[in-house]
Amino acid sequence: MTTDVIKFGTDGWRAIIAQDFTFANVARCSQGLVDYLRERGTVDQGLVVGYDTRFLSKEFADTVAGVCAGNGIKVYLSTKAAPTPVISFNVLHLGAAGAAIITASHNPGIWNGFKFKPEYAGSATQEITDRLEAKIASVAEVKSMPLDLGRAQKLVLDIDPSPPYMTRIAELIDLPSIKNAGLNIIVDAMFGAGAGYIPALLAGGKSTVEEMNGYRNPAFPGMEQPEPIAHNLTNLAQKVRDERASVGVALDGDADRLGIMDEKGNFVSTLEVFSLLALYLLEGKGQRGDLVKGVTASMMLNKLGEKYNVGVHDMRVGFKYIGPKFSEVDALLGGEESGGYAFRGHIPERDGVLSGLYILEYMAKAGQTPSQLVEHLFSQVGPHYYQRRDATFNPEQREQIQQRLRSAADLADLAGTPIRSSDEIDGRRLLFDDAWLASRFSGTEPLLRIYCEAESRERVTQLLDAAAEYLGV
């Protein structure tokens, strides 16, 4: 029996395939999850099992299903690769005890992962993952059953998770308004599980939807990783320009994140997208409710909160922190800098497909291009510019970097800009007048992330350069 330690990060356990992410470890993780559900007394509700388009994801998902069946637990096994939010929604639709999803989301192709979504269909809290890790560590024996036998005993039920999800999306989004707007939409599915969803939802109108990278390729060619950020979307940007498209929409590997290219082929930052979504819901749709954001999301949200008299909650990065607060306050919108956004009336979890459709609905209703929508946003809250840098580092440097993050609280200024205050909600965040800078270790990859938002691109660059030099990365 393997003795590898399985640890859950910001969103699930992730590891390199064949190194730590092995069939033996996935089986052990599954047995620990079964033991956790039994302790909770929810095993009779069954478990939804889904997977993405990565190498061996289906086979790993079959392993999870076999372990559940071997323990006498009913499994709703997806018949195809599906987005994480689609599988999560099926937890609510089926009244299941939760979902196990084989995905490494936006990580490079050599990675895979195991996400657990509890009965509320959102990210597992720290308390839950701590208990889950303890159960996995104490597994002495893994019980399993061949899937054919599980099907014969009605323990393994094959499901198409898409129809109930599509029905919910049609309830939340005015799909006809998008279909009839005459938009030319290009979708980059990034070879991921979100392929086909937006074209299917918007078929049959005046708008056209062209999808690129809409087939499975676990190598994710032409990109560092299936993360919808600017340097991975150069082909989408060029296609938007060449075809004079209205907008480019990109989904990450498991379609819980969104990236947007405007009509000129320029990347719309995730902070701008988050703020546009808030502005549309508050101003365009006249809805009200608190906003829940990770500490590295935009201060534009705080200004919109003041303008529309709604609360704004700063949380640690990751939906394991954002999701519970989102549910607690019945928030209108929740999200984080990485491009994941959640909406009232759906699930307390990121949904890239739904997020993209809200942006398209905003364009259709306002009759404006993405760049015009950003101009309107800036007219409400002032210009804001943002950049994130991801720095690799020698693991031996981690404690030294950590010490510098702690001592940053004593700095009077950075790059000649006086520091107004700082906090440690997640890593270290420095607050200036009309600017902020934050540094934190990634919870899913061996990276130090440095984030900055300011009133000009030049100021952002100056502050990022100063922070990198101070931290020695």
Tell the residue number behind the tokens 């998008």, with chain if given: 178
The 10 Å Cβ neighbour count of residue 327 is: 16
Please state the rounded mean pLDDT for residues 140-154: 98
Q: What is the pLDDT of residues 290-303, one digit of tens each?
A: 999 999 999 999 99
Cα 222 → chain centroid: 21
When the pLDDT of each residue in the chain is averaged and rounded to a whole number, the result is 95
pLDDT at residue number 443: 73
pLDDT at residue number 3: 45
Cα 245 → chain centroid: 26
Q: What is the pLDDT of residues 99-136, one digit of tens each?
A: 999 999 999 999 999 999 999 999 999 999 999 999 99
Integer Cα distance of 118 and 91 in angstroms: 8
Q: Is 261 helix (H, G, I), strand (E, B) or coil?
A: strand
Q: Is 30 helix (H, G, I), strand (E, B) or coil?
A: helix
Q: Which of 341, 376, 344 is nearest to 362 (CA)?
A: 376
- pLDDT category, 403, cuts 50, 70, 90? very high
pLDDT at 311 over 90: yes
Please give the radius of gyration of the chain, using alpha carbons only, rounded to the nearest integer: 22
Integer Cα distance of 364 and 246 in angstroms: 11
pLDDT at 446 over 90: no
The secondary structure of residue 287, as a DSSP letter, is: -
pTM above 0.85, yes or no: yes
Q: What residue ranges in 108-224 does DSSP mark as E strands?
A: 111-118, 156-159, 184-188, 208-212
Among 141-145, 206-210, 360-364, 386-390, the least confident range: 386-390
Domains of the chain with CATH codes: 13-161 (3.40.120.10), 173-381 (3.40.120.10), 385-471 (3.30.310.50)
Q: Which of 347, 299, 355 is nearest to 322 (CA)?
A: 347
Helix-then-strand count for the chain, H and E: 16, 22
Q: What is the pLDDT of residues 34-68, one digit of tens each?
A: 999 999 999 899 999 999 999 999 999 999 999 99
pLDDT at 2 over 60: no
Task: Using a pLDDT cut of 90, give the percent of the chain over it.
Answer: 92
pLDDT at residue number 444: 66
Helix extents (H) in 142-253: 147-152, 162-172, 175-179, 197-201, 234-242
* DSSP letter for each residue of 406-422: HHGGG-SEETTEEP-EE
- What the block records as the tokens of 447 is 């990276």
pLDDT at 69 over 70: yes
- pLDDT category, 1, cuts 50, 70, 90? very low
- pLDDT category, 275, cuts 50, 70, 90? very high
Q: What is the pLDDT of residues 451-470, one digit of tens each?
A: 999 999 999 999 999 999 99
- pLDDT category, 396, cuts 50, 70, 90? confident
pLDDT at residue number 23: 98
User: What are the CA-CA distances from residue 392 to residues 98, 398, 450 (Å)?
Assistant: 35, 10, 11
Contact 264, 241 (CB under 8 A): yes
